[in-house]
Structure 1
Amino acid sequence: MDMLPGASTISIDTLSSNITQQGFTVQVSTTQDTSISEVAGQWMAVPSQPPSWTTDYQTGHFGILSARERADTGYTNTAGDVVFARRYATAPRVVVWITAFDFGVGATWRLNAFPTNIRGRGFTVNVNTWSNTVLYSANVSWVAWPAEDKSVIGNYWHPQVARLNGTGDDVEMAGFGNTSFVSFDKGVSRRMFPELLMGFSQFDVWRGPVGMKLRIENGVRREGTDCTVRSFGNVTLNNNVNLAWLAAT
C-alpha cells in the first residue's frame, strides 16, 4: 500500500465484481480525497459447491457498518456472527484479512481483525481498534477449511518489525523492515510447491502527511517462506502487526 491521506480521512476499499467462469473484475476505490499511488493484493477463487474430492473452502466478507453506523466511532470492537453455508464436522481453520478501511487523519491508524468462537457451524469475526484511533469503517474477508485437510495450512504471524534499540524494547521506527522465516507444516512441505496467500490482519501506523506506506515481501519455498514486513517513505510502523496466511498444494 502506498497512499496519501486526504484532509479528513484515509481510506481504501477493494472488492470483486463481474465474476464469471473466465475471470472477474477487481475494483479499488477511495472516499473523499485520499490518493493512491500503488496497491498490490492477492486473491483466490473458490467454487460455491466444491467437488467432494477437493478442499471444502468457504469464504465470505464482513463489514462493521453492518453492525454500527459510520458516525459511531466510539466503538473499539465490532463483532459479527458468521454461519457457514455447509456445516463442518469439527471446528475448521479460519483466517481473516483486512480488505478495506476508513480512518480519521487526526490519530494513529490502528486496526485488528481476528476470528473467535470457531465451531463447526460458524464463528465470530472481530474487527477492533484501540487508543484514540478514529475508525469510520472497515471490511474483512475470511476463508475457512477443514482442520483435518493436510493439503492446506494457515495461521497468523506476528513479526517483530520495530525492535532493536539496544535494550530489546519495542520502539517506533520509520522505514524499518525485519525478515523472519515462517515454517509450513510438514504435511504440506513434503508435497508439491505450495501456493501462498498473505495479507494484513493487524497494523499500527503512525498517522502523518506521508500517509500509509507498507509492504509485504515473500520468498516462498517448500519448507516455508522468508517474509519481510516493512514501511517506507519515512512512515513509522509500530510493533503491532499481524499477518494472516494460507498455504495450499
Structure 2
Amino acid sequence: MDNSNWSHVGTSATKFVLDPNKPTMNLGSLNDNSRDDEICRVVLHEFGHALGCVHEHQSLAADIHWDEEKVIADAKRLYHWDEDKTRTQIFGKELDATMHSAFDPSSIMCYMIPPEWTKDGRGINENLALSETDISFIRKAYPFRTRNTGRLSVSPDIRQPYPPLALNSKIIEFDPPYPLPPRIILGLTLLDAAKTANIRVRVHTLSQSQRSNKSFTLNLDAWADTELYNAAATWLEFARSEVNFEVGQFDTTDNRSFEDRQPSAEGNFRRDMQHVDFPPGKYAEAPNVTVWLNALDLSKDFNWRIRAAARNVTTSGFDVVIESWDNTVVYSASAAWVACPRNHPGVASGTVSSSAHRKWFPPRLANGGRVKFDIPFDRTEPKVFIALNELDMDNSRNFRVKVSADKIDDKGFNWHGDAWADSILYTVGADWIAFG
C-alpha cells in the first residue's frame, strides 16, 4: 500500500496515466484517525495539483535560501528520499508554469519549511487552508461559475421580426451538462410589440421537475391579440451545490386574478407584494437581491409604467414588489429574483436607472452610463447579466425598449437602456449581476 500523498498536475494525468484503472491521485497518509486539519491540508494540497497548481516553494518567484546539505540529510532521514527526489520535490523550479503570482508563503501549495533548512533562518509555517492568493489565482485560471452565455433573442436566434408570431422557443443546451437539473432565473432584456393591443409578453421555461440536466426550453411568448415582433431574455443557472444563492419567482396572479386591478398603496402607487423568507441562519447579514421582470400584461390604453424591486431586505427575508403609478393598468406581471451574500467572492450586483442621470421629461431614446464595481474583479472581463426592472413609456407609440451591457472590464461596464424609431421612453432601469 502506498502511504504517500501525491497527484499528477493538471492535464498531465492524461499523458502519464493511460490505464483507466490506475489512480491519478493518492491520499495514502490519511486514515480514520487523521485530524480534521490534516485531512483539510492534504486534500486541498493534492487537489491543487489536480487543478494544475505546482509547489509554491518551487515557483519562479520564490526566493528561499536553502541549506541544501541539511535539507537533503533530513529528507533522507524523515521521508526516505534520495537526493534526486529531494531536489525534484523541494529545490527544483517549475519552469513549465505559464501563470504565476508573487511568491505566497501562506499558499496551501507551499511545503512547511523549518527555519533550520534555510541559511537565513527564515522558515514557513504549515498552511492548513487556502490563502487569498490561492483563491484569486484559481479564479483567474478557471471558467466562470455561470458557464453558458445566458442570452437569447427571438430575432435573429429564432425567426425574423416580421410577421409577428406569438409563440417562440428554443432548446438551450448546458455545456457541460449538470449532475442534476439546475435552478434557473429568467429576465427580459428587449421587447418590440405593437401599440394596437395590450402588451402581453413573458419569458418562461418548464417547471423545475421537468427540466433536464442537459438542457431546457426557453420560451418567449405573447398571447391574445398582442403583436410581438421581437423579444430577448437573459438567464442565470445555479447548480444544486451552489447553496449560497437563493432564487425565486413572484407572479401577481399568485395573489389576485388578472381581472382585479392592482391594490392601492402609498400615494400615486399601486403595488403587488410578496414576502420571501430565507432559510433560518442562511445569511449572516442582509444579502444583495437582484430582481428581473420576466412577464407583463399591461393595458394599451394608458402609458406603460412598471417597476420591480426588492424592499426591506434583512437576514431573514425581503419583500419582492411589482408596482405601477399614475393611471397605468397592470393586469399581471412577474419577476424573478436571486439573493447572494454581500461581498461574496467573485460576485457583484446592483441597480441602474436613467432616473439617476436625468429627469423623466423630456424623453430620450438613448440612456445609460458607466458602472464601477466596488471591488475590481480578478478577471479582466467578468460576465455581466442585466435585465429590465423599470419602465415608463408612452403608449402612443410601439413598445420598443432594450437594456444591455458592454465595454466590460475588471473595474466596471457601460450599461444602456434604449428605445428606437418613434417610441417614447421616459424612464428605464435594470438590475445587474456580475461574475468573475
Question: TM-score category by the smaller chain?
Answer: 0.7 to 0.9
Q: CA deviation at 1:12?
A: 0.4
Give me the whole-angstrom Cα distance separating, in 2, the residues matched to 1:90 and 1:162: 30
Per the TM alignment, residue 40 of structure 1 is displaced from its structure 2 partner at its CA by: 1.4
2:404 matches 1:217? yes
Q: How does 1:25-36 map to 2 (within 5 A)?
A: 25-36=217-228
Q: Any idea what SS the aligned residue of 1:65 has?
A: helix
Q: CA deviation at 1:160?
A: 5.0
Q: Which residue of 2 aligns with 1:242?
A: 429
Q: Say if 2:399 is the partner of 1:205.
A: no
The separation in 1 between residues aligned to 2:363 and 2:315, in whole angstroms, is 42
Letter of the 2:236 partner, please give it: M
2:382 to 194, 198, 204: 194
Q: Which has the larger radius of gyration?
A: 2
In structure 2, do the counterparts of structure 1 residues 85 and 29 end up closer, same or farther at CA, with 3 Å as the change threshold?
farther
Task: Specify every segment of 5 or more residues in structure 1 that has no aligned partner in the other structure, as ranges.
Answer: 164-168
Contact 2:262–2:272 (8 Å) recurs in 1: no
Q: Highest relative contact order (Cα 8 Å, sep 6+), 1 or 2? A: 1
Q: Does 1:152 align with 2:347?
A: yes
Residue-pair matches, total: 235
Runs of 4+ in 1 over 4 A off after TM superposition: 160-163
Residue 192 of structure 2 corresponds to 2
Q: Could you tell me how far 1:85 is from its partner in structure 2?
A: 4.5
| One-letter amino acid of the counterpart of residue 91, structure 1 | A
Whether 1:104 aligns to 2:104 is: no
Q: TM-score normalised to the size of structure 2? A: 0.51
- Alignment partner, residue 232 of structure 1: 420
Tell me by how many angstroms 1:181 deviates.
Answer: 0.8
- Segments of 5+ residues of structure 2 without an aligned counterpart are 1-190, 264-269
CA contact (8 A) 1:162 1:171 kept: no
Shift of 1:108: 0.2
Q: What SS does the corresponding residue of 1:233 show, helix, strand or coil?
A: coil
Distance 1:232 1:161 in 2: 21
| Aligned amino acid, residue 275 of structure 2 | D
State how far apart, in whole Å, the 1-side matches of 2:435 and 2:279 are.
22
Tell me if 1:90 matches 2:285. Answer: yes
More helix by share: 2
User: What corresponds to 1:166 in structure 2?
Assistant: none
- Listed as ranges, the matches of 1:32-181 within 5 Å are 32-50=224-242, 56-75=244-263, 76-85=270-279, 87-159=282-354, 163=358, 170-173=360-363, 176-181=365-370
Q: Are the equivalent residues in 2 in contact too, given 1:16–1:27 (CA < 8 A)?
A: yes
- 1:48 Cα deviation after fit: 2.9
Do the aligned residues in 2 keep the contact of 1:10 with 1:103 (CA within 8 Å)? Answer: yes
CA distance, structure 2, for counterparts of residue 33 and residue 143 of structure 1: 32
Q: Percent identity?
A: 24
SS at match of 1:40: strand
Shift of 1:170: 4.4
2:258/2:332 contact within 8 Å kept: yes
- In structure 2, how many angstroms separate the alpha carbons of the residues matched to 1:22 and 1:151? 25
Shift of 1:107: 0.3
